[in-house]
Structure 1
Amino acid sequence: MARYATSDLHGCLLSFQRLVEDKLKLTRDDELYVLGDYVNKGPNSRGVLDYLRQLQADGYPVVCLRGNHDQELLDAACGRLALTWAPDADRHVTLQSFGVQQAADIPDSYLCWLEELPYQLEVPGFVLVHAGFNFRLPPEQMRRDWNTMLNIKEFVLDASRLGGRRLLHGHVPTLTTEVQKQVDEPAGAICLDTGCVYRHNPELRHLAALNLDTLELTLQPNIEPDYYIAKRG
């Protein structure tokens, strides 16, 4: 049995499939934790959701958390259009993957699946969340601050709040070399967003999966067909 975590798939279905099936060789005895952001930016948001749901239906222990892009898609589909969603180009690609013209027409099965995603999770040795926590808040309030868990980009870690566990998160595209440095530290936070969707940037453009027991980091390059995305960095 092995435990893995990864994050920020952003519609990169082929890259994620390669990671799961060829690099990790996931079995039904393993556990896979995915830290959110399945949709937007990349070419096949619907395909990513279909694949995750099929893995779960086939008996693979795949646990998915909620990311800010998943929440933004839910908000748009539920008519909360005043809230920020993706830029026009991203919206078009995302909606096209679902075969619809507007978010409200995305089939309910996808929206219900997204709506049930938790914001955080504790497993032996780790606390999992999409973006992070506001450690300045009282402990009980910190764990109910949903907006921060989805959106915070910088925080000062207070390890005493985590009960001896390390923090795993995504959300902020981070160079693979920096992620490896974080993994090698004996304590602290690890960001697993290695910017897979930014296919033009050779220092990003990977999915990263961490073995939670051996701390081995596995990288899968972006292998998606051509799609438009602005280069980051």
Structure 2
Amino acid sequence: MKRTLVISDIHGCYQEFNQLLSKVNYNSKEDQLVLLGDYTDRGPKSKEVLEQVMLLVETLGVLALRGNHDQMLVDAVCNGQDSRFLRNGGMTTLESFCGWEWFAGNYSFDRYVEAKEYVAEHYSEHLDFLNGLPYYYEDDKHIYVHAGIDPTCEDWKQTALKDFLWIREPFFKNPTGLSKKVVFGHTPTIYLQETADIFFDEDKIAIDGGCCFGNQLNCLEITKDAYYTHYVPSNLK
């Protein structure tokens, strides 16, 4: 592979995702595409994004990791863990799967439960896909993960599963002590610096441009000798 291309936190921003793939001239025969999770919630087309990711993984060898929003969807639909899902854009995801006319102004809890039942019945393959995604990936020079690792672990792979999906300050405010750089999403880079561009630290690279919040969708291009950054602006202004 000549390039590794890394994108994170698509959050239902289907149009921007495809614009970005086109902008970087993604070629599955020459590039390794790595997606760091959070395919659903907040943006308008969670279903379309997820189905495209499933197809990319199945047909083109794309590596897709698990994000906390992906886990929340599974937990809400399959295990009744609703509160966190609803606080973090889950209703938009259900509308994407069930159709925008599903609620028709009736956002009662009963109608919400019916939406979850509809997703469980008609999209079990999608839920199984999300529930089977790995928490991390590594190559010769980088570790890829959705949120980060626990830098207090002697072996970073012993990081608690919830921390792979949710960790913030204990990870990005402390050195990892690793020889490999950690490439992560989850925390929008605008919280780490003054812009939504990709953030480079000595041992970490943050790539979440906050597209679902109206900022941008980033792609980190890794070659043998250098890093390059690409982005497309969000349509959610």
Q: CA deviation at 1:220?
A: 1.1
8 Å CA contact 1:129, 1:169 repeated in 2: yes
Q: What secondary structure, in the 3-state scheme, does the structure 1 residue paired with 2:51 have?
A: helix
Give the alignment of 1:24-39 within 5 angstroms: 24-29=24-29, 30-39=31-40
Q: Secondary structure at the match of 1:32?
A: strand
What is the Cα deviation at residue 180 of structure 1?
Answer: 5.3
The residue correspondences of 1:1-233 to structure 2 (distance < 5 A) are 1-20=2-21, 22-29=22-29, 30-57=31-58, 59-81=59-81, 84-87=84-87, 90-99=89-98, 101-106=114-119, 107-139=123-155, 143-154=158-169, 155=171, 156-160=173-177, 162=178, 164-175=179-190, 182-183=199-200, 185=201, 187-199=202-214, 205-213=215-223, 214-223=226-235
Helix, strand or coil at the partner of 2:84? coil
Contact preservation (8 Å) 2:149, 2:163 = yes
Deviations 1:54-108 (A, max 9, x none): 2234x323111100000000101112326621328x2321111111743343211
TM-score, structure 1 as length reference: 0.82
Change (3 A) 1:152 1:102: same
Alignment-mate amino acid for residue 47 of structure 1: E
Counterpart AA for 1:174: T
SS in 2 for 1:5: strand
User: How far, CA to CA, are the matches of 2:47 and 2:228 in structure 1?
Assistant: 30
Cα displacement string for residues 177-196 of structure 1 (whole angstroms, at most 9, x for unaligned residues): 6575733x5x3111111100
Identity %: 29
Where does the alignment leave 5 or more consecutive residues of structure 2 unmatched? Answer: 100-113
Q: Secondary structure at the match of 1:216?
A: strand
What RMSD over aligned residues (CA atoms) do the two structures have, in Å? 2.2
CA distance in 2, matches of 1:209, 1:193: 9
TM-score normalised by the chain length of structure 2? 0.81
The aligned amino acid for 1:66 is: R
- Deviation of residue 26 (structure 1)? 1.1
CA distance in 2, matches of 1:221, 1:166: 26
Match of 2:109 in 1: none
State the alpha-carbon separation in 2 of the partners of residues 218 and 178 from structure 1. Answer: 14
Against the structure 1 CA distance between its residues 168 and 153, is the aligned structure 2 distance closer, same or farther, given a 3 Å change threshold? Answer: same
**CA spacing shift, 1:105–1:27, aligned 2, 3 Å:** same
Deviates more, 1:147-156 or 1:30-39: 147-156
- Which segments of 5 or more consecutive residues in structure 1 lack a partner in the other structure? 200-204, 227-233
* Matched position secondary structure for 2:53: helix
Q: State the 1:159 CA deviation.
A: 3.6
Structure 2 CA distance for aligned equivalents of residues 208 and 181 of structure 1:
7
Which structure 1 residue ranges, 4+ long, deviate > 4 Å from structure 2? 176-181
Larger relative helix fraction: 2
Instruction: Give the Cα separation in 2 of the matches to 1:179 and 1:189.
Output: 16
